[in-house]
A and B are shown apart, each in its own frame.
Chain A
Amino acid sequence: NAGVTQTPKFRILKIGQSMTLQCTQDMNHNYMYWYRQDPGMGLKLIYYSVGAGITDKGEVPNGYNVSRSTTEDFPLRLELAAPSQTSVYFCASRRTGFYNEQFFGPGTRLTVL
């Protein structure tokens, strides 16, 4: 199993540009998540999904959109990038049940200039 994969690893955007961060998991997990990690801080939840076709907002959803058309894929869309969106973005997935750990992707470092 590849686990959770994210592309790209690094990206520089100009203010006002848009992009999609890709996330794929091959573990057949129902739950998928997008987090952002600002320097020296913990992870903050942007959006999450409990299954294909179902998404919900997390703590910091403004400026982002998601979709979940398949179990495997959970892309994160940034519209009109702003410097405040400079961060490291992590995708994660887990099986249903509190006890089950989240498996994280390697992260995408995004810089908005």
Chain B
Amino acid sequence: AQTVTQSQPEMSVQEAETVTLSCTYDTSESDYYLFWYKQPPSRQMILVIRQEAYKQQNATENRFSVNFQKAAKSFSLKISDSQLGDAAMYFCSIIQGAQKLVFGQGTRLTINP
């Protein structure tokens, strides 16, 4: 079974600085997708970025990028130029096989002005 581990329950960063959120996962499959979702205080889950396991190139979406290390089963999220609106819970997740998404426990990110 797949598992996703986020070892940082809380992180904080100064506005305009860069922060990296860690995620490791375990799977026996060779083909899968990884996602980062954001959950602001409104509770609405929002997709931040996604990565296909077969792609070597790390995904990038504006200020958000990932460091995907397939051999190490690591999928960290880097947020550049942090903004107050980035404050949220961030969940790492994996999907494979029967189309079921498995989530990590989340990292609460605080942005200090």
Q: Is A79 an interface residue (CB 8 A)?
A: no
- Interface Cβ pair total, 8 Å cutoff: 55
Question: Which residues of chain A are within 8 angstroms of B105 by Cβ–Cβ distance?
Answer: 40-42
Query: Chain A interface: which of B11-19, B41-49, B68-76, B79-87?
Result: B41-49
Q: Is B91 an interface residue (CB 8 A)?
A: yes
B52 engages A99 (CB within 8 Å): yes
A50 engages B50 (CB within 8 Å): no
Question: Which residues of chain B are within 8 angstroms of A43 by Cβ–Cβ distance?
Answer: 45, 91, 101, 103
Q: Is A74 an interface residue (CB 8 A)?
A: no
Smallest CB separation, B13 vs chain A (Å):
20
Smallest CB separation, B42 vs chain A (Å):
8
Query: Chain B interface: which of A14-22, A62-70, A100-108?
Result: A100-108
Contact-size category for A: 20 to 34
| B9, B50, B101, B106 — most chain A CB neighbours (10 Å) | B101
Question: Which residues of chain A are within 8 angstroms of B33 by Cβ–Cβ distance?
Answer: 98-99
B50 engages A101 (CB within 8 Å): yes
A90-B45, A106-B44 as given contacts; A99 in contact with B101, CB under 8 Å: no
Smallest CB separation, B64 vs chain A (Å):
14
Closest A residue to B52 using CB positions: A99
Restricting to B9-44, which residues have a CB under 8 Å from any CB of A?
9, 31-33, 35, 42-44
Closest B residue to A94 using CB positions: B99
A45 engages B106 (CB within 8 Å): no
Smallest CB separation, A86 vs chain B (Å):
15
| A92, A96, A107 — most chain B CB neighbours (10 Å) | A107
A31-B99, A42-B103, A48-B99 as given contacts; A98 in contact with B32, CB under 8 Å: yes
| A31, A42, A101, A106 — most chain B CB neighbours (10 Å) | A42
What 10 A-B pairs have minimum CB-CB distances, sorted nearest first?
A: A42-B103, A104-B45, A101-B47, A98-B33, A43-B103, A42-B105, A107-B43, A42-B106, A42-B104, A42-B91
Question: Hey, which bits of chain B sit against chain A, CB under 8 A?
Answer: 4, 9, 31-33, 35, 42-45, 47, 50, 52, 91, 95-96, 98-106
